[in-house]
Structure 1
Amino acid sequence: MRAIPLAVTALAAALLLTACDSGGGDDTGSTSGKAGGACGIGQLGVEVGPANAAPTAGDTGNIPVSLTNQSAPCALDGSPGIALKAGDTVATVPAATGAKPEKLTLAKGESATFTLTYVRGGATGAKSLAAKNLEVSLPGDADTTKSFRWSYGVVALKGDGGAPDASVGPFTRAGD
């Protein structure tokens, strides 16, 4: 009589384990089902500053940007996208030299940060960008941005009106 309940329990356990199999046959340890995919800028609260603004031309300023997940778990895998806008001019800020982005998975309520570093430019001229807006995008969702008013002064340009003399650091978990 005891053999039947044990056999039924074993069969039920086997069926449950089979039902949990994704069927993909890929045993890479991926957590994409748990992470919910790439974070979208719309599911994160974004706060810019408070900044250590560059006071005069040639000085360096640092602007922290904080991201807080307000939705399902998601991942930040790559570098933040930053653009400075001055009217019709859009200048893309490159990743910091030597920056090594690491994948961060954020549960609801968890935060990550990154820092934008820039050199303040002169008042006007071909070697400065009078930025009015800072646009932030995320890896995996580069076409969607959040725009913020730029109030940190003119940004120096490298060379003769080229790229901004600025860089963006990798994502780090807030509190690390």
Structure 2
Amino acid sequence: MRAIPITVTALAAALLLTACGSGGSGGGDDTGSKNTDGTACRIGDLGVQVGPANTAPAAGDSGDVPVTLSNHGAQCTLQGFPGVELTAGSTSATVPADKAGAPQKLTLAKDATATFTLTYVRGKEGDPAGLAAKTLKLTLPGASAGKSFPWSYGPVQGKKNATDPNATVTAFTQAGD
């Protein structure tokens, strides 16, 4: 008789853990498309955690948004930079790679993690040269499918205009042990 409540509790805990590992700051669309490289990581096999962020408190300040990827599928590789796009309504901006760090090829075993960081400069509310971003879309190298998450870190300052964000994204790095 006692085995049933323990089984139900264990099942509920497993479902909660599964839900936590896939979204971070929000869920997202995930078509899980195949990359062109047969060993490349697929976004559909990864849990994505966005944040917690070191949010830029005021216009002109810099903020960092760490993103952690956890491999829930077979061993795969990440090479290059993640694709990051910020969107506000019908306007979108691709975040450029931070060329200060050279990308390396990472092999992720099942349950291994990798991370990257999006650094941005907060813009002024209502500034037409900034982007009042609402959505962050992440893609992996060589794939068009991605996951989208809510952006809640304020407007992003543009260098020249809203589609040229004052932001960069680092290459993937191994996380954990």
Shift of 1:99: 2.4
The one-letter code of the counterpart of 1:154 is P
- The two structures have a TM-score, normalised by structure 2, of 0.77
List structure 1 segments (4+ residues) > 3 angstroms apart after TM superposition. Answer: none
Structure-2 separation of matches of 1:105 and 1:111: 10
Shift of 1:159: 1.5
Alignment check: 8 A CA contact 1:93 1:164 kept: yes
Structure 1 equivalent of residue 100 of structure 2: 98
Shift of 1:127: 1.6
Counterparts of 1:10-25 in structure 2, within 5 Å, are: none
Structure-2 separation of matches of 1:84 and 1:162: 9
Counterparts of 1:44-83 in structure 2, within 5 Å, are: 44-83=46-85
Please, which runs of 5 or more residues in structure 1 have no aligned partner?
A: 1-34
Helix, strand or coil: the match of 1:129?
A: coil
Bigger radius of gyration among the two: 1
What percent of counterpart residues are identical? 57
Aligned residues between the structures: 141
Shift of 1:119: 0.1
Structure 1 equivalent of residue 155 of structure 2: 154
Structure-2 separation of matches of 1:135 and 1:46: 11
Alignment check: 8 A CA contact 2:91 2:163 kept: no
Structure-2 separation of matches of 1:152 and 1:173: 25
Structure-2 separation of matches of 1:144 and 1:36: 15
Larger relative strand fraction: 1
Shift of 1:90: 1.0
Closer, same or farther: CA 91–151 of 1 in aligned 2, 3 Å = same
Alignment check: 8 A CA contact 1:39 1:140 kept: no
RMSD of aligned residue pairs (Cα, Å): 1.4
Please, which runs of 5 or more residues in structure 2 have no aligned partner?
A: 1-36
